[in-house]
Structure 1
Amino acid sequence: MEENSKLPLPEAFLNFLKVNGIDPSIYTASDTVPRYIRLKPGNEAFIGEIEAEIKCKLEKVDWLAGFHSLPPDIQIANSTAYQQGQIYGIDAASGAAVSALDISQGDHVLDLCAAPGAKLCMILDLLGDSGSVTGVDIARHRLAATRTMLQKYGLGERCRLFVADGTMFSLVPVNLQSPLISCKCHQPIESASEDKNNIFVEWTSRRPWKERKKAAKLRKNMASKSVTANKHPELIFYGQHSGVVGLRKSELFDAVYSTEISHRGYDKVLVDAECTHDGSIRHIQKFEHWGWTTLQRRVLDAERTDRSLTTLQLKLLTNGFRLLRPGGSLVYSTCSLTVAQNEDVVEQFLKGNPSAELQDIDAAKDWPCKKGKIPKTWRFDPLTSQTSGLFVAKFRKLPVEPSPP
């Protein structure tokens, strides 16, 4: 405890670490963990110019393509490269979680806890001019920031964003709708009596005043209620090639039954679940400014940590897996280092889902991280990995066996 007392952390947090078997010495690495950026594809030739402007050399991350590190005190927000969307900040551990999805051209990907959006941007980078991405988050203001990020980096063409409860979200990729719906949604509007307000046209932030007023009134009415009380998720952004343009609203929100997921589900799903963020050094450092009483409420509250939060994580994981097509892959991650929010959730999930199997992550053999408490799971921490703390597990949905004749 003498060593612990040297850390700028309150006793209650040190006790939290002890109860959860987390070595408090990881927080001594706060001054040595580098900042990471991802270089947007096609900007490799500008590295020299970027280095000259920020007066710092970008160190290539050998184990993660497209990533570079720089000293933690270097600021990039005012750089031309950042403002013009050539680079964006994302921790290398978060990048590893995305890379574990093994995204292929044409994949339809669901990011079930999408805000603040860096991982969503990386997914879209990897897809290029193919497939689609659906981003979901329950916090509207955070998802609005994600929308701004997509527009800044020019990555929103194949993306749609929904404000929704990830534990209950039920929409499939529109590109995988049934042939009947696909045929209908791209037919020209021939009837003058057709209600054109029910057809999605090209998205714009400059909506008519009446529409903005109606949306604001709806948000005000829903402010004191759960977002799930609304009939449909709120679509706050969609790109030109996301499959939404030309679609009737009734078709977008078409109900999906479990039997249909086998041919209409997502190819890949990322569930970077809400957690206590105790593995993130920079997040913990924020409490020095927010106040340690806020840490008590957000991290140390035993009821939230042991029951409510882990129940939420399990529900997010279960629903994400439900929306995955057979043969598809799901990555579950948190930036917590507690076993309760990671391995325990994984084991609980596996017990209740016989069609799920833990998968080896091929890239992990090159990752600077430790094995988790159960096989095929992985843990990044600031001391071992020189990244923020992160837990990663990957699942595959077993194909449905045909019923015997």
Structure 2
Amino acid sequence: MEEEEEAAAKVPLPDAFLHFLEANGLDPSIYTAVDSTPRFIRLKPGCDACIKEVETQLKCKLQRLQWLPAFYSLPPHVQIAASRAYKEGKIYGIDAASGAAVMALNISSGDHVLDLCAAPGAKLCMILDLLGDSGSVTGVDVARHRLAACRTMLQKYMIGDRCRLFVADGTAFSVIPSRFRSECESCVSGLEGRVDVFKGWTSRRPWKERKRANKSGTAQLVSRFQPPELIYYGQQSGVVGLTKGELFQTLSDNEIANHGYDKVLVDAECTHDGSVKHIQKFEHWGWRTLQQRVLDAERTDDLHTLQLNLLTNGFRLLKVGGSLVYSTCSLTVAQNEDVVEQFLKENRTAGLTEIDAVRNWPGKGGRIPKTWRFDPSTSQTSGLFVAKFTKVVI
């Protein structure tokens, strides 16, 4: 007990943040764990024989995580960006808790998966790795520049063949999965000369279009009233061969129940207070910035509304029998359990379900049964809340 109090006393956090933690039942000593919490990498499928090579390049021993396939921990001070393995796309950095959120989806071969808040892209890459040569992934994000970074990752790791990316507001996005018309040669063979269908994706836009975009100063964030903008699609993503009208067709909620996504991930925007390294940055950014980004009551209320709307729309796009995982890297009740409870009250077809893999996970249960929490002190990862829903017929 004395050791815990001593650790808490050493935490260089302002009183306002300590009160915030106390109100949410959080131990401030978790923010002293930044130097002991390992960083994590995921090994790209097929690269198992490269472990020794990666260890040589990173100059450290990799520890395989027994509870999360293809994940390894390494000392927190090790930088991976300069290594050849990273540059060649054999490894990428992703926190183990985030990987657990993806695993909670129980992705199966042939699934059509929606990642509704896709940036910065590590979870998107993991989903594509798990699908392999089947199914499709649709990534959506409201920030154009962040989604462009996702596109760069897909090209770097050469895994974007079955992916499409839309710049759009996740609370209003309505594009359903394409059902692989492009896999049929007869659908693609007649494209030559037609201007009304999507052909092979290219990053090159006409000069006049680029000039107009530069002149108008295109906004980095889009509003819910702007139509989705398709900024990338792979050859097997189901886009090639479709007309614009077919791609953006509008379906009723009853039709979506039959033709929606098999799996949906809503890793919602939050205050990021569960990320110890993120909070530590405020020592340099200034604690006033922490007040504005984390503690401000109006911002927290706005985030609660946004999170609920993202979860609601993600669930609307889920087919009957499908699974949705909601996660945040916040440890607050307001952004997690409160959102889940309100969502369940407003959606009769939603059922909170057990996460199969949780019996092997570190961490602890949330305040609502069947939910799970990671944090540096109990799981040696960043903080993350995870809840899983299924859509049922009433």
Give the alignment's TM-score, normalised by structure 1. Answer: 0.92
* Structure 1 contact 176–264 (Cα < 8 Å) conserved: no
SS in 2 for 1:332: strand
Q: Please list, as runs of the form range in 1=range in 2, the aligned pairs for 1:119-134 lying within 5 A after superposition.
A: 119-134=123-138
Distance 1:228 1:8 in 2: 39
- The amino acid of 2:200's aligned partner reads E
Q: Please list, as runs of the form range in 1=range in 2, the aligned pairs for 1:263-278 lying within 5 A after superposition.
A: 263-278=258-273
Pair 1:282-2:277 in alignment: yes
Correspondence for 1:61 among 65, 85, 95: 65
Give the aligned partner of residue 144 of structure 1: 148
- The amino acid of 1:68's aligned partner reads Y
User: Aligned pair in 2 of structure 1 residues 109, 34: CA closer, same or farther (>3 Å)?
Assistant: same
Which sections of structure 2, spanning at least 5 residues, go unmatched?
Answer: none
Distance 1:28 1:175 in 2: 49
Q: Please list, as runs of the form range in 1=range in 2, the aligned pairs for 1:182-193 lying within 5 A after superposition.
A: 186=188, 188-189=190-191
* Structure 1 contact 115–142 (Cα < 8 Å) conserved: yes
Q: Alpha-carbon deviation of 1:3?
A: 5.1
Q: Alpha-carbon deviation of 1:250?
A: 1.6
Correspondence for 1:352 among 342, 346, 358: 346
Q: Alpha-carbon deviation of 1:205?
A: 1.8
Give the aligned partner of residue 224 of structure 2: 228
Q: Alpha-carbon deviation of 1:216?
A: 3.9
Q: Alpha-carbon deviation of 1:183?
A: 11
* Structure 1 contact 4–14 (Cα < 8 Å) conserved: no
Q: Deviations over 1:253-312 (max 9, x none)?
A: 11121121122100000000000010101111222222222211111111111x211011
Distance 1:9 1:23 in 2: 12
Pair 1:375-2:369 in alignment: yes
User: Aligned pair in 2 of structure 1 residues 112, 26: CA closer, same or farther (>3 Å)?
Assistant: same
Distance 2:289 2:236 in 1: 42
Give the aligned partner of residue 207 of structure 1: 205
Identity over aligned pairs, percent: 70
Pair 1:104-2:135 in alignment: no
Q: Alpha-carbon deviation of 1:206?
A: 2.4
Correspondence for 1:258 among 243, 253, 262: 253
- The amino acid of 2:279's aligned partner reads I
Distance 1:391 1:363 in 2: 15
Distance 1:314 1:8 in 2: 33
Q: Alpha-carbon deviation of 1:207?
A: 2.3
Q: Deviations over 1:374-402 (max 9, x none)?
A: 1000000101000000000000101x35x
Give the aligned partner of residue 295 of structure 2: 300
Give the alignment's TM-score, normalised by structure 2. Answer: 0.94
- The amino acid of 1:319's aligned partner reads N
Distance 2:335 2:37 in 1: 24
Distance 1:33 1:45 in 2: 27
SS in 2 for 1:109: strand
Pair 1:321-2:323 in alignment: no
User: Aligned pair in 2 of structure 1 residues 183, 55: CA closer, same or farther (>3 Å)?
Assistant: closer
Q: Quick check: 7-16 or 319-328, which moved more?
A: 7-16
Give the aligned partner of residue 95 of structure 2: 91
Q: Alpha-carbon deviation of 1:186?
A: 4.9
